[in-house]
Chain A
Amino acid sequence: MIIGKEAITDYIPHRPPFVMVDKLLSATRERFESEFEIERTNLLVSNGFFQETGLIENVAQTCAAAFGYLDREEAGEPRIGFIGAVSKLHVFELPVVGSTIRTVVTPLHQLGNIYLIKGEIFAEGRILLGCEMKIVVTE
């Protein structure tokens, strides 16, 4: 693990109660991985399940944390990113309250300040969500 729960908000602009990532497990220019425990009090939990919107936000915040970490590693300040578009979205299963999800992001292409990434979320060895996302990073 490279960023723990206590320090994650140093790398992302989001603040409680809208922090949807706990830990950044690894981050290279080729791959990011994060972890998030679904708590009952989470704003995006409904009927005991973390909703699709929460899963998408989790992918975006995984990107934010990883870009923030990599920017800082390269002696810069973390830049702010925005979701530009979500495509090829497949939601297979929603995680139940109390479970921990693991998110893997693979950057596919970059054009200037726009990144195309592939996001996948897993829990207990099963895939919950897959998507592509365009992230626009401030310059």
Chain B
Amino acid sequence: MYANDVKMSWEEVIEETRDFLSEEFEVDRDLILPENSLKDTLDLDSLDYVDLVVLIDENLNVKLTGEDFKEIVTFGDFYQLVRKKLAL
């Protein structure tokens, strides 16, 4: 995985993701944990999911669809999906 032309490990991808999600959705970074609910923690409504898709595309170059979110409950689920898309 490359972000800003720097090769990143999977752990670094997760930390980077926590950083930009925390900043964009104004949520305490420490609450972004694998076992916590993505929707509840980020306080997402249906319009916010579009912002999430844009963020993931811009930061990780991963394109998500509405179908992708059907199986996602926790950040752990979310990370697994991103990892699968990145083929890491």
Interface size on B, residues (CB 8 A): 10
Among B49, B50, B57, B65, residue most surrounded by chain A Cβ atoms (within 10 Å):
B50
Per-position binary interface string of chain B over residues 61-87, scored 1 when its CB falls under 8 Å from any chain A CB and 0 otherwise: 000111000000000000000000000
Interface size on A, residues (CB 8 A): 10
Would you call the interface of chain B mostly helix, strand, loop, or mixed? helix
Interface residues of B (CB under 8 A from A): 46-47, 49-50, 53-54, 57, 64-66
Q: Are B47 and A84 in contact (CB under 8 A)?
A: yes
Q: Are B47 and A109 in contact (CB under 8 A)?
A: no
Would you call the interface of chain A mostly helix, strand, loop, or mixed? strand
The CA-CA distance from A86 to B49 in the complex, in Å, is 15
Residue on B nearest A112 in the bound complex, by CB: B66
Q: Which residues of A contact B65 (CB under 8 A)?
A: 111
